[in-house]
């Protein structure tokens, strides 16, 4: 990244200006022209560095999401991963180093829709999937300082017990937040027109969601791999239930940890605490893991480290947006 790109991406992952002309506001803060800011953001999105400019909703805000895992024979990985990625509800799909080697997130408007989609994938692939439901998030927004080899600075643990859910009347706006802002001089005008609201009401609602914990952040959502963070690992721990919240909060405070959350155990999967580390290379990531395991009081607990080896799909969630209709090709893939 050059200095201008870094200045456009790094500080605006949080606190994106909730004003009618946000790119002019950013331009003024950086002593640039608005036209240059718009052009640079369009380029960064076209190149894949920016996934979208939008919000990260808290787990309790609405809709449903489920982390799932399959144990896929090596010779079937290409076909199975393609079938999983073809489902429009899947927004992340990765291969990881473990017997359970295919990890994906299924999203939908509610839990029954997510379960129906999971059963469809199980039928299409002939493989069972672990369902690892979120129980508590300690850190989930994945916004961190891009100037270092890993997430150097510890983040404040947000103590929102239950996010205020998105009201039914506000779900069209929530769908826009998932899809991302258009990169235009007055992007919130487009959301106002699409949802039949005033611009003032759109901006007020976004700020209210941030204040209520419905949105964990609103800003630039970057693609870390494209920005040089080529390595990531998910470390999972088996922690007694009475200790997991203490350990989870301690894990979330550690420098280098980018995600931390508690999930249900499932069948042969005994782990209930998860921590993610992103970095520029494997050695950097492993060094962070070695340090935070001890610092968070987790050294005595059974654990496994699952490095990501391939990224098959990474898109925005569909918790509020309607799922796109599958193409004929996708339909055939899902039918096996």
Length of the chain: 336
Report the C-alpha gap between 156 and 154 in whole angstroms. 7
Give residue-wise pLDDT tens across range 186-244.
Answer: 999 999 999 999 999 999 999 999 999 999 999 999 998 888 898 999 999 999 999 99
74 - beta bridge partners?
none
Q: Just give the CATH number of 51-336.
A: 3.30.70.3460
308-to-161, 232, 281 alpha-carbon distances in Å: 31, 6, 11
Report the C-alpha gap between 82 and 264 in whole angstroms. 27
Report the C-alpha gap between 255 and 156 in whole angstroms. 11
Report the C-alpha gap between 240 and 247 in whole angstroms. 10
Q: Give me the tens of pLDDT residue by residue for the chain, a chain 336 residues long.
A: 799 999 999 999 999 999 999 999 999 999 999 999 999 999 999 999 999 999 999 888 999 999 999 999 999 999 999 999 999 999 999 999 999 999 999 999 999 999 999 999 999 999 999 999 999 999 887 788 888 888 776 545 455 456 789 999 999 999 999 999 999 999 999 999 999 999 999 999 999 999 999 999 999 999 988 888 989 999 999 999 999 999 999 999 999 999 999 999 999 999 999 999 999 999 999 999 999 999 999 999 999 999 999 999 998 888 898 877 554 333 333 333
Mean per-residue pLDDT of the chain: 91
The DSSP code sequence of 117-185 is HHHHHHHHHT---EEE-EEEEEE------TTSSB--S--PPP--SSPPPPPGGGHHHHHHHHH---SSS
Domain extent listing, the chain: 51-336
Do residues 320 and 109 lie in contact, with contact meaning Cβ atoms separated by under 8 Å?
A: yes
Do residues 174 and 320 lie in contact, with contact meaning Cβ atoms separated by under 8 Å?
A: yes
Q: How many CB atoms are located within 10 Å of the residue 263 CB?
A: 21
3 state SS of 222 = strand
Dihedral angle over CA of 308, 78, 104, 237, nearest 10? -40
Residues 6 or more apart whose Cβ sits within 8 Å of residue 139: 155, 157, 158, 252, 257, 258, 259, 260, 261
H/E element, 221 = strand 215-222
């Amino acid at each position: 990244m050059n200095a201008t790109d870094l200045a456009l991406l790094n500080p605006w992952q949080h606190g994106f200006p909730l004003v009618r002309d946000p790119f002019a506001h950013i331009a003024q803060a950086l002593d640039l022209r608005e036209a240059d800011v718009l052009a640079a953001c369009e380029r960064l999105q076209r190149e894949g560095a920016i996934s979208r400019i939008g919000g990260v909703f808290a787990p309790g805000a609405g809709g449903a999401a489920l982390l799932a895992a399959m144990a896929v024979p090596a010779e079937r990985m290409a076909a199975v991963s393609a079938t999983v990625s073809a489902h429009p509800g899947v927004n992340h799909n990765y291969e990881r180093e473990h017997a359970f080697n295919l990890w994906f997130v299924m999203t939908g408007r509610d839990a029954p829709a997510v379960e129906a989609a999971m059963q469809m994938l199980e039928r299409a692939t002939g493989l069972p999937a672990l369902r690892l439901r979120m129980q508590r998030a300690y850190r989930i927004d994945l916004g961190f300082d891009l100037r270092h080899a890993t997430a150097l600075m510890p983040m404040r643990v947000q103590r929102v017990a239950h996010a205020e859910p998105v009201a039914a009347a506000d779900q069209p706006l929530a769908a826009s937040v998932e899809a991302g802002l258009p990169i235009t001089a007055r992007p919130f005008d487009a959301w106002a027109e699409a949802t039949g609201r005033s611009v003032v009401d759109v901006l007020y609602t976004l700020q209210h969601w941030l204040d209520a914990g419905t949105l964990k952040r609103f800003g630039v959502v970057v693609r870390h791999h494209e920005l040089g963070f080529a390595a990531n690992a998910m470390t999972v721990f088996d922690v007694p239930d009475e200790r997991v919240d203490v350990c989870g909060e301690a894990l979330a405070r550690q420098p280098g940890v980018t995600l931390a959350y508690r999930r249900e155990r499932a069948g042969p999967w005994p782990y209930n605490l998860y921590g993610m580390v992103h970095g520029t290379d494997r050695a950097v990531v492993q060094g962070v893991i070695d340090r935070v395991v001890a610092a968070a009081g987790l050294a005595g607990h059974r654990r496994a480290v699952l490095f990501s080896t391939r990224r098959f799909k990474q898109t925005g969630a569909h918790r509020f947006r309607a799922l796109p209709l599958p193409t004929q090709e996708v339909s055939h893939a899902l039918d096996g």
